Structure 1
Amino acid sequence: MTNTVENSEAETAVENTTVPAVESTEAAVQSNGQQSEMPFAVVQGTAINTLPQDLYIPPDALEVFLAETFEGPLDLLLYLIKKQNLEILDLPIAEITRQYVEYVEVMTEIQLELAGEYLVMAAMLAEIKSRMLLPQPKTEEEEEGDPRAELVRRLQEYERFKQAAEDIDNLPRVGRDTYKPTVQIPDLRIVKEPPKVDMKDILAAFNNVMKRVAAYKHHHIDLEPLSVRERMSNVLDSVRGDAYVDFGDLFDVKEGKSGVVVTLLAILELVKQALIELVQTEAYAVIHVKAISAANDAELS
């Protein structure tokens, strides 16, 4: 095949790209009055004036090919039509077929892998061209219509979708045209830890209980003594759940000094075993008791 339109355009572009370099070189020679040797390359600031003997340049490394990138055969046809300023409704099918086949052959010559749809479109164009060239009876021609109608319909539909895609792509896009502002807000919450319960506070609370015992001394009734283990179970029953129980509410002043002492020992033992905890909202405030584990019965068994 002879030189195609696309090859001639590529060769012209390559020739034109070399002209500025030649002109700039000649201008440099004329301005300096003498010819200076231009290096082949500059590597890390060092000029290379001679080619290394072991340098290998692949055969296709210096080839220049100027071609459009198409999304498919319809895109290629639409490009050829617009390039020639042709009307889609009145396609010169012979000229379009010739240019399309030439472009496919150019891509084949430079070893580009062609999708099957490009070859299918070439066959379709050849079929439409042959149908338009062959004479047909009037009756069949009226029934069949224009052989280009289906191709024109597909081109118009593709052009509409392509234009819509370009319009959507031109819309402002977050991350490309606009960016969401981000503000780093530090965590300003102040976590106020309750003060640790001191032994002095426990003794002060116990002293208040003892004063209440003294007030009910004349109502004292001797009961069967309770063991510390049994009183621990009673305390755990009183503080089940997530509720906070007042430290003083765990004591029964009617039991007298012996009863409140047993209760105090039970509370201290439960704190030691990490089954309950004593908390205060602030120093010298009311002491509250809260269960730590829900499986209190299992711990005591």
Structure 2
Amino acid sequence: MASAVRDLELDLDAFEGPFDLLLTLLLKDAISPSEIDIADIVVAFVDRLAQRDELDLDACGEFLVLIAALLELKARQLFPEEDAELAELEPEEAAEELARRLAEYRRMKLAAQWLREQLEDQRERYFRLGPAPLAPEPERRLAAQEPLRLAEALRGLAVEPPHVSLSHMALRFPPVAQFVERFRALLRKRRVFDFDAEVHGLSRVEQAVAFLALLELRKEGEIALSQAAPFAPIRISRGEPAVAAAEDSRPDEGRMPQWNARSA
């Protein structure tokens, strides 16, 4: 290899040193070809040739071979699938495929250049957004309609909806006096009875009204309530109005006030 190529000093982003060392590192996979900028190597070699008085054709040929091999390595790394497809082709077919791809690349490059020129020429132009003022309005066509079906649908909407009864949502409270008379009649027959046994089978609302009747009778002093323990059955017995009346007839002097159902 010519001395001009072997001793070519490179100052790249991923490598700094002679070209010979760079090739060695690439062959040993110490440096990835994708990290090397081929254009910088070419510029460095051209600058090296410009410093000499005569053109070294041998060095140029060696450099072209090496730089082509480097480009092939980089292309195979960047496009592994395409490299596998080309490897299955014959030499003549591979050359034709390469020529086709180069022609396609040239067309894309020319198209990009044309788009860039158009962008530069029309940079000062502004386009109004929205439909064109003379754009034809599309004709709205309705499908064939049946007047009888439309009249039938309107007739169904005109019918008044059925009345919805809300009676099942109303709470009906029986009168308290009904249970008061019922408990008085029980006390005339029996001296003691259980509240739970008497309201068994009634609704929760009727049981609440029956309990209010008990409180009313207790307030009047007609009954006495007893319960052995919390949540135990409530026992109802006859009251002693005579004793209560005697206590009420005593003078208030020297007597401590006591709480009772009536004071509540």
With the length of structure 2 as denominator, give the TM-score of the two structures.
0.24
Of structures 1 and 2, the one scoring higher in RCO (CA 8 A, sep 6+) is 1
Q: If you compute each CA radius of gyration, which structure gives the higher value, 1 or 2? A: 2
With the length of structure 1 as denominator, give the TM-score of the two structures.
0.21
